[in-house]
Amino acid sequence: MSVPISGSEFDFVRTLVRREAAIVLEPGKEYLVEARLLPLARAAGERDVPAYVARAMRDRAQHPKIVEALTTNETSWFRDSSPFQAFEQRMLPDILASRTDDRVLRVWSAACSSGQEAYTVAMVAHDRLAAAGWRLEITATDISEEMLARGRAGRYSQLEVNRGLPATHLVKHFQRVGADWQVSDQLRRCVRWSKLNLAAPFPPGPRYDVVFLRNVLIYFDTATKRDILQRTARTLRSDGWLLLGGAETTLGVDEAWERVVIGRSAAYRPQARIPAGR
């Protein structure tokens, strides 16, 4: 019979995750901590999660493993569909029609998990941009090295490709490799992968045309959300677009955004050009 973690053990874990990744674990999430840390406890040879947490209190080498284990990595292809329809039907045409300074579309997939969002963007945009003589550059970031390695490999199981990937896209953009499916080299060349903690300062980088910051702000408190949104605004071009998750909004958090309804989705644009610097 498993031993539940104590209040002090839960407090240690929630404080660690809050400090390192700004993720808020409210009381009542003990079951989640126990479920996520059990594989780590077993791998470390500990008898249960409380014993593993006690070890982590003495051994800082366990801290990054705990933070990564408590990071949510839920994802799928064309997740929620309407943001990708807005990207294809409104954002791409607007950018192609209005831009004259260069012919590169730069997209940031933040909290990209195992890469399905980044590759979905590539599937939507690649052919259209190539036909117009444009290049596609996607930056995919996540706090988890394991998820980044999976995205970089671009190899997915049958169960994973069954989660939202249309058969036409599977045939066009994937190759069968044993029991798995491999993303085409053409799409993989469009994506650059790097580790990034959204709650920490962003490294220098290009200004993006579109930022997908979806289904991640819900894990932060209001002050952290506001800080992330303000820093994200500074990564966008003046006419850039921000896409959030269906349960997320800038309203009541950071008012320096214009909400634009596009079909069944909503997108956000900076209300005024924000000076460079992060």
- Kindly tell me if the per-residue pLDDT of 12 is higher than 70: yes
Residue 121: predicted pLDDT: 96
Residue 275 is predicted with a pLDDT of: 47
The pTM score is 0.79
| pLDDT tens digit sequence for 41-95 | 888 899 889 899 999 999 898 898 888 788 766 678 888 889 999 999 999 999 9
In contact, 154 and 112? CB cutoff 8 Å: no
